[in-house]
Amino acid sequence: MKTTLSLLTILFSLNLWANVHTGTFVQVNGEVLVLTQAKEKPFVLYQNKKYSYKPAKIGSRVGAGEVIQTKGNSKAKIIFANGDSLNIGAGSSIVMPKPTAKKKQKETELKIIYGKIRSVISKKSPRNNLKIKTKTAVAGVRGTDVYVHHNLQKGTLVTVMRGKVEVSSAENKKIKPITVETGYMTTDVLEDVQKIDKKPITKEKVIEVQVQSTVKPDVEVSETVKKEIQVLEKQNKEVVLEDIKNYQPEIYQEIKDTKDKMTVEEVSAKVVSKVYKAAPSESPKFKPSQEDLKGIGNDVYEKYFEQ
């Protein structure tokens, strides 16, 4: 009897773990693949491991440790049951968050092999001690809105849209970590970096963040999937609003009377536009390109970003 109860407890724990760390694709644009470790053919060899693969679809699930690849100009957004979200930019390869062996710290690890990701993580989340790792840097996330771009040649750049993130070198443990706050980004963190610095976010970088986290679905889905996505997006919006309330109360006051009528994308655009307007530009005459405007949406840019 005790053995049966123990097995049931283990199975329940495994199911709970799987559900907590399983996300749903709520937006997919272009060619996005999900790679799962495989023991049998057919498989592809990636990072010296065997994987089966399938196309990501709106409403499909993706689990801890699975690899997501976005091709060319393809992008995707994933929402977890509690409302946490990951926006995966174009030309990226990431390993989905999974708990590490450090059980006492309840640490979760997300790996960026290359590319761009924007994460919004709740302070109450099972991922509230998330480590975003690249080959050259580690970003410690505790309930915040952060964008990480890892370029195989240029290293890693961490941009904080909201909250605080501790950034350290993945290669040199002697380098002192730094805390990056709202409106700041790191300098490029390379393999041979001797010091990590930060600087104000530029207008150019804010536009990049908005373009890479704007996903426009290009397929129709069933009513059942639509309803499921609506539930997840509502959870995501609650996480975003709670985060804004904690870190940017002045913006929360601005939108508190209209927030119920806004989508989570509109709330995000409102916040990002505030950072954009306050940011310096690398070029005095900077203006978003036509490609940028297409990525953001002309209507969104005119409503929130145009000064």
Residue 119 to residues 55, 64, 151, Cα–Cα distance (Å):
22, 15, 18
Q: Which of 139, 131, 135 lies closest to 159, judged by CA?
A: 139
**96-105, 188-197, 281-290: least confidently modelled range:** 96-105
pLDDT at 15: 46
Percent of the chain residues topping a pLDDT of 90: 70
Q: Exposed (0-12), middle (13-18) or buried (19+): which is 137, by Cβ within 10 Å? A: buried
Higher pLDDT, residue 16 or 210:
210
Alpha carbon separation from 70 to 106, 150, 159, 185 (Å, rounded): 29, 14, 21, 24
Whether the Cβ atoms of residue 131 and residue 139 lie closer than 8 Å to each other:
yes
pTM of the model: 0.90
**CA–CA separation, 144 and 128 (whole Å):** 9
pLDDT band at 115 (very low <50, low <70, confident <90, very high): very high
Question: How many residues are given for the chain?
Answer: 307
Query: Considering only 102-116, 123-137, 250-264, which range has the smallest mean pLDDT?
Result: 102-116
> What local confidence, expressed as pLDDT, does residue 129 receive?
83
pLDDT at residue 122 above 60? yes
Band (pLDDT 50/70/90 cuts) for residue 103 is: low
The yes-or-no verdict on residue 42 having pLDDT over 80 is: no
Q: How many CB atoms lie within 10 A of CB 141?
A: 26
Q: Which of 96-100, 114-118, 127-131, 151-155 has the highest mean pLDDT?
A: 114-118
Kindly list the distances between the CA atom of residue 111 and the CA atoms of 182, 226, 241, in Å, as whole numbers in the listed order: 23, 29, 26
CA-based diameter of the chain, in Å?
A: 74
Task: Give the span between the Cα atoms of 246 and 260, in whole angstroms.
Answer: 18
Cα distance between residue 11 and residue 105, in whole Å: 23
Percentages (nearest 5) of helix, strand, coil residues in the chain = 30, 35, 35
Q: Is pLDDT larger for residue 73 or for residue 21?
A: 73
Domains and CATH numbers, the chain: 1-307 (2.60.120.1440)
pLDDT in tens, 156-189: 999 999 999 999 999 888 899 999 999 999 999 9
Q: What is the pLDDT of residue 13?
A: 43
3-state secondary structure of 52: strand
Task: At 78, list the tokens.
Answer: 């994933």
How high does pLDDT run on average in the chain?
88
Least confident of 14-28, 63-77, 130-144: 14-28
**C-alpha–C-alpha distance, residues 54 and 47, integer Å:** 17
Residue 75's φ and ψ, nearest 5 degrees, are -145, 165
Q: 167: exposed, middle or buried (C-beta count within 10 Å: 0-12, 13-18, 19+)?
A: buried
Beta 130-133 vs 108-120: how paired, if at all?
Answer: parallel
pLDDT at 9 over 60: no
Q: What does the pLDDT look like over 195-248, one tens digit per residue?
A: 999 999 999 999 999 999 999 887 889 999 999 999 999 999 999 999 999 999
Beta bridge partners of 181: 164
Q: Is the separation of the CB atoms in 157 and 188 below 8 Å?
A: yes
| Per-residue pLDDT, 46 | 79
The pLDDT of residue 73 is above 80: yes
Residue given tokens 């706050």 in the structure block: 181
Assigned token pair, 193: 């970096």
Tokens linked to 173:
């443990």
